[in-house]
Structures are given as structure tokens and as C-alpha cells.
């Protein structure tokens, strides 16, 4: 087996909000080309972990080490956390993915060709002038994916990207992510509480629950003992 | 009686009123788009009242009005940010309401002891656009021009930070800086506008043109353009008619804004 390049490392990292720990002692390795599924029940801390990986949430303790300088990442937030009053067109939302690249004083207009191309890739070429807030749930999800992809990231972080999709769209979204991972070599971290869906695609799995974080290869993680511990019924105290 | 436009604006006090309200209207409506989108319109009237309290206090103590009202607005912003850091037990909106009432109560007490008395209370609420000096217009220009330039050059950073701070930050934008600059500009706009035009006018300019523009817009770019297209004629016509018919100008301008609002809602209701 060839050695994969280490991109990101969590060493005994504590995550939480305002002094309250949500995830204690997280240890995690992310290697180039990984397809990692992050699973766990509601409130387990999946979004929290993804925020820390994205660098949005600073650790309370421990080290997050970025092994590749200038690692570019694309982030697809949990859609339900987004404000929907803005009169932004699909094109305007996708172009936001380029803001950092375009630079501070320049117009994004020149980059609209690129944004249009990505909208086509996710199957929304007809929708560029439509308002984001007037799209369907699945279409919004695709716009957010397009925004993350438009800057051609090396690592893609997705928070519940398939939860709102119908079965056919779920499959096409997952096929697309697999394609990005296999053909373009993009590292993918996929958060979902749909364990079976994640297990089908991800090679590594991070399981969260009850303040515990365990990660490993898919087959080790899908043992009956693990599943009972993180998803099984009855759960302790529940 | 219809006076001609050129006659109305041949008077220096009318020209000062025109330039000042245009500056206030244009800057407030640009900043106000984000204020409305971020659902903090209430903050506008709260800060305006705090600013007004600062002015009353400065008058009472014989201090510089601009400096004291700016300071109080910023202290209030800092307090609001600190107070909402912890777990939100009560929505922040309500706290802004409390601050508004408290500032209004204090202003009332202070102004009742001032030389102007009740007239002072009226002036702090409704302002007096016709008492603006050329020097005020110059100061306004110095304060507001950098804000307009900031929003012109960095609208994409400010938009991304408002719409989805988390993703913007993940992409490497300094969202804390842009948030800070946003609140700073809100504070400056409200403090200066309130000092020259009163609580009512500065709040109206911050919220009504953006509200109308956002109702009718199908892109953010369009919202900015519409906001200006609404505010500029309202100011010019409102001022002119207030002169022609002898009405208070700020009231006339805001009535004109409502005219635009009904036009827009009628068009939408179609
Ligand atoms: N901004 C925040 N401030 C304070 N506590 C938070 C915040 N965000 C999340 N939490 C807490 O952290 C814990 C984990 O939340 P998180 O959103 O990471 O869960 P999740 O696994 O993504 O859940 P879901 O499946 O519902 O999206 C929860 O107990 C939540 O109350
Ligand atoms: Mg979540």
C-alpha cells in the first residue's frame, strides 16, 4: 500500500463552547485522498468537530496541526443553520466561494464563468438567476456544494449534505462525491447521521456519541459492538 | 403656492439641509441593507436613542456632542456584544428594547432640566434639518465618505460575513474584522445622523429605504441600487415640499418614503 500524505492531525483536542466541553480528547488523522464519514446521533458533536477541522472553532485544549501549508478547503454548512432572507441569486451564492481567491479589491464578475461551470457540474445551469431562497431544499444543497467546489479545494467538508435529498438525489450526490474523491483526489469529510449511507461510501469512519470519539477503518468500525455502543438501544441513561 | 425648485434651494440653510440629508440618506440606506438583513433593525432605534442621550448629556455638561454621543454608542455596542456572549436566556432584541427605554427615560429627565425644556425633547426626537450649518455638512462628509468607500470596495466581504460567517471564515476571510467594521460603521452612521437630524430621521433612513428595496429586489446588487433610487428623490422632493408647504422637512421626507413603499407593495401585490 502506498503511503498517503498526512494533511491534518488532531492531538488530544478538546472542543466545546464557552467553557463547556462537548468533545473531549479527540485524536484524528486526515490523509490526502481520504473519504471519511463522520457519524453519530443528533447533538453528538458532528458539526462541532467539522467546525474545528475547518478552523472556525478554536480548540479549548490540544493541538490541531496542519501538515500541508496553504491547505485549501471547501465547506458546506448544515443548511438549516443558514439565513434565508437574503436576496442572493444562486450565482451570487456560488461566487462567494471565490471571494478569498478573487482578492479584496477586485470584482467577482470576471469569475462568473467559473461559477457558471460549477453550477453546470451540479446540474443547476438553468438556475443561476434564481434566488437562492426560492430554490428547493435539494437545489439549495447543490448550490452550497457548488460554492464549496468553485475554489477547487483540496479538502471538502460537508455537514449533512444529503439529509434533505430524495433517494435518487442522495445517490447522485454520493456518486458525485465519490467521483471527486476517486478521480480528482479530493479529500472528503462527510457528516451524516445516516450511518448506512455513510458506511457504503466512506473508507474511514469517525463515530461520535456520549462525548466519545472513535475513528478507524470502515470494517473495524462497523463491528456489532461498536454499533451497539454508538447507535444501539437501549442507550445508557436514555 | 408652488415655489420654484431653484428658489427653494437658493437659500444656504436649504442647501445644507439637502446635502446633509442626502449624505445621511445614502449612507444609512447602504449600511441599513445589512442592518435589515441581519434582523437588527431594532438596534438602529436603540442606538439612535443612546446617541441622543449622549447629545443631551453633552449639552448638560458642556462637552463635545459628537465625541460624547459616539462614545456612548460604542460603549453600548460593546456592552451588547459582551452581554450576549454567554448563553442567551432572553433574546437580545429585548435587551435592545430595554436600553432604548432606559436611554429615552434618561434623556427625558436631562432635557427637562435644560434651558430648552420640552422644545429640547422635541428636537432630540425630530431633529431640525434646517438648522444644519455648512460646517456640519463638512464633518458629515468626512465621517461618511470613508464608510461609503468601504462598502463600495468591500461589499463582497461584508456580504459573505453577514450571510454565512462560518463558511466565510472557513474560506479564510477575517470575519471578525468585517463584523467589527460593520458595527463600527453602524455606530458612526447613527451617531452622526442622530446628532444632525434626530432619532426619528436617522432610524427611518436606516430602515425604510432598505426595507422597500429588499421587498422589490431580486438580487443584492439591485437592492443597493433601488435603495438609492428610493432615498434620493424622497429627500429632494420631501425637502422642497416642506419648504413650499411649510412642513417640518424630516416628516415630509419620511412620508415620501411611505409613498414609495405603497407603490412597491402595490406592484408586488399584482
Ligand atoms: N453555538 C453553540 N453554542 C453552544 N453550544 C453549542 C453550539 N453549537 C452546538 N452546541 C452544543 O454542542 C453539542 C453538539 O452539537 P453539534 O451541533 O455539534 O451536534 P451534531 O452532532 O451536529 O447534531 P445534529 O445531528 O443535530 O446536527 C450540542 O449539545 C449542542 O447543544
Ligand atoms: Mg450538526
Check whether residue A197 and residue A217 sit in a common domain: yes
Q: What is the pTM of this model?
A: 0.88
Which among B157, B167, B223 has the least Cβ separation from residue A75? B167
Mean pLDDT confidence for A111-125: 87
- The predicted pLDDT at position A236 comes to 46
pLDDT along chain B (270 residues), means of 10: 76 94 97 94 92 89 89 90 68 86 91 78 83 93 96 91 91 90 94 92 95 91 94 95 91 92 74
Residue B175 contacts residue B158 (beta carbons within 8 Å): no
A22-60 residue pLDDT tens: 999 899 999 999 999 999 888 889 999 999 999 999 999
Rg (CA), chain B: 19
CATH at residue B104: 1.10.3470.10
pLDDT band at A231; cut points 50, 70, 90: low
CATH at residue A18: 3.40.50.300
Number of domains making up chain B:
1
- Please indicate, yes or no, if residue A26 is contained in any of the structural domains: yes
- The predicted pLDDT at position B267 comes to 72
User: What ipTM goes with this model?
Assistant: 0.85
Mean pLDDT confidence for A134-149: 90
Check whether residue A2 and residue A67 sit in a common domain: yes
Alpha-carbon distance A172 to nearest alpha carbon in chain B (angstroms):
24
CA-closest residue to ligand 1 atom 8: A48
A56 in contact with B, Cβ within 8 Å: yes
Size of interface A-B (CB pairs under 8 A): 80
Residue A188 has pLDDT above 60, yes or no: yes
Q: Residue-wise over B4-40: b if at least 16 C-beta within 10 A, else e? A: eeeebbeeeebbbbbbbbbbbbbbbbbbbbbbbbbeb
Check whether residue A99 and residue A210 sit in a common domain: no
Residue A52 contacts residue A13 (beta carbons within 8 Å): yes
Domain boundaries, position A62 = 1-71+154-238
- Please indicate, yes or no, if residue B31 is contained in any of the structural domains: yes
Check whether residue A233 and residue A161 sit in a common domain: yes
Which among B39, B170, B218 has the least Cβ separation from residue A131? B218
CA–CA distance, B217 with A124 (Å, rounded to integer): 22
Atom of ligand 1 nearest to the CA of A42: 25
3-state SS class at A196: helix
Domain boundaries, position B121 = 5-265
- The predicted pLDDT at position B228 comes to 96
- The predicted pLDDT at position A234 comes to 46
Check whether residue A89 and residue A46 sit in a common domain: no
- The predicted pLDDT at position A233 comes to 47
- Please indicate, yes or no, if residue A91 is contained in any of the structural domains: yes
Of A224, A231, A226, nearest to A216 by C-alpha is A226
- The predicted pLDDT at position A237 comes to 41
Which among A153, A174, A190 is the end of a domain? Answer: A153
Whole-angstrom CA distances from B220 to A5, A115, A131, B175 are: 42, 17, 10, 19
Q: Exposed (0-12), middle (13-18) or buried (19+): which is A35, by Cβ within 10 Å?
A: buried
Check whether residue A173 and residue A140 sit in a common domain: no
Mean pLDDT confidence for A228-233: 64
Check whether residue A138 and residue A113 sit in a common domain: yes
| Strand ranges of the sheet holding A204-209, from the earlier edge strand across to the other edge | A73-76, A155-159, A187-191, A35-39, A204-209, A212-217
Amino acid at each position: 500500500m502506498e503511503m498517503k500524505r498526512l494533511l491534518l492531525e488532531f492531538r488530544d483536542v478538546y472542543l466545546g463552547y464557552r467553557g463547556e466541553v462537548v468533545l473531549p480528547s479527540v485524536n484524528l488523522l486526515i490523509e490526502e485522498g481520504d473519504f471519511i464519514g463522520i457519524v453519530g446521533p443528533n447533538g453528538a458533536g458532528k458539526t462541532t468537530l467539522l467546525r474545528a477541522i475547518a478552523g472556525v472553532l478554536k480548540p479549548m485544549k490540544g493541538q490541531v496541526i496542519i501538515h500541508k501549508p496553504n491547505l485549501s478547503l471547501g465547506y458546506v454548512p448544515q443548511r438549516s443553520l443558514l439565513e434565508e432572507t437574503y436576496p442572493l441569486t444562486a450565482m451570487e451564492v456560488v461566487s462567494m466561494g471565490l471571494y478569498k481567491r478573487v482578492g479584496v479589491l477586485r470584482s467577482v464578475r470576471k469569475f462568473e464563468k467559473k461559477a457558471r461551470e460549477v453550477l453546470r457540474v451540479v446540474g443547476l445551469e438553468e438556475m443561476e438567476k434564481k434566488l437562492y431562497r426560492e430554490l428547493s431544499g435539494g437545489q439549495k444543497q447543490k448550490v452550497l456544494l457548488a460554492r464549496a467546489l468553485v475554489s477547487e479545494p483540496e479538502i471538502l467538508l460537508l455537514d449533512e449534505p444529503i439529509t434533505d435529498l430524495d433517494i435518487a438525489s442522495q445517490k447522485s450526490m454520493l456518486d458525485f462525491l465519490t467521483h471527486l474523491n476517486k478521480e480528482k483526489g479530493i479529500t472528503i469529510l462527510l457528516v451524516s447521521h445516516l450511518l448506512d449511507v455513510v458506511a457504503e461510501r466512506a473508507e474511514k469512519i469517525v463515530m461520535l456519541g456520549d462525548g466519545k470519539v472513535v475513528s478507524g477503518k470502515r470494517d473495524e468500525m462497523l463491528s456489532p459492538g461498536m454499533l451497539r455502543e454508538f447507535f444501539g438501544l437501549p442507550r445508557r441513561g436514555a | 403656492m408652488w415655489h420654484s425648485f431653484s428658489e427653494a434651494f437658493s437659500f444656504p440653510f436649504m442647501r445644507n439641509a439637502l446635502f446633509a440629508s442626502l449624505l445621511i440618506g445614502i449612507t444609512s440606506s447602504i449600511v441599513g441593507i445589512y442592518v435589515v438583513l441581519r434582523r437588527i433593525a431594532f438596534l438602529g432605534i436603540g442606538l439612535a436613542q443612546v446617541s441622543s442621550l449622549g447629545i443631551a448629556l453633552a449639552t448638560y455638561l458642556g462637552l463635545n456632542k459628537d465625541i460624547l454621543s459616539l462614545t456612548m454608542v460604542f460603549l453600548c455596542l460593546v456592552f451588547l456584544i459582551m452581554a450576549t456572549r454567554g448563553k442567551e436566556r432572553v433574546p437580545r432584541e429585548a435587551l435592545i428594547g430595554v436600553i432604548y427605554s432606559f436611554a429615552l427615560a434618561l434623556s427625558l429627565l436631562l432635557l427637562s432640566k435644560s434651558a430648552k425644556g420640552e422644545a429640547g425633547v422635541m428636537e432630540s426626537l425630530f431633529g431640525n434639518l434646517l438648522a444644519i450649518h455648512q460646517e456640519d455638512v463638512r464633518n458629515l462628509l468626512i465621517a461618511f465618505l470613508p464608510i461609503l468607500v468601504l462598502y463600495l470596495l468591500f461589499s463582497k466581504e461584508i456580504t459573505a460575513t453577514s450571510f454565512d460567517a462560518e463558511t466565510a471564515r472557513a474560506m479564510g476571510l477575517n470575519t471578525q474584522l468585517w463584523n467589527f467594521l460593520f458595527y463600527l460603521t453602524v455606530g458612526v452612521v447613527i451617531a452622526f445622523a442622530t446628532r444632525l437630524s434626530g432619532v426619528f430621521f436617522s432610524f427611518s433612513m436606516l430602515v425604510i429605504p432598505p426595507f422597500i428595496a429588499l421587498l422589490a429586489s431580486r438580487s443584492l446588487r439591485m437592492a443597493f441600487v433601488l435603495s438609492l433610487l428610493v432615498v434620493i428623490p424622497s429627500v429632494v422632493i420631501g425637502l422642497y415640499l416642506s419648504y413650499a408647504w411649510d412642513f417640518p422637512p424630516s416628516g415630509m421626507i419620511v412620508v415620501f418614503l411611505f409613498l414609495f413603499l405603497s407603490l412597491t407593495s402595490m406592484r408586488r401585490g399584482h
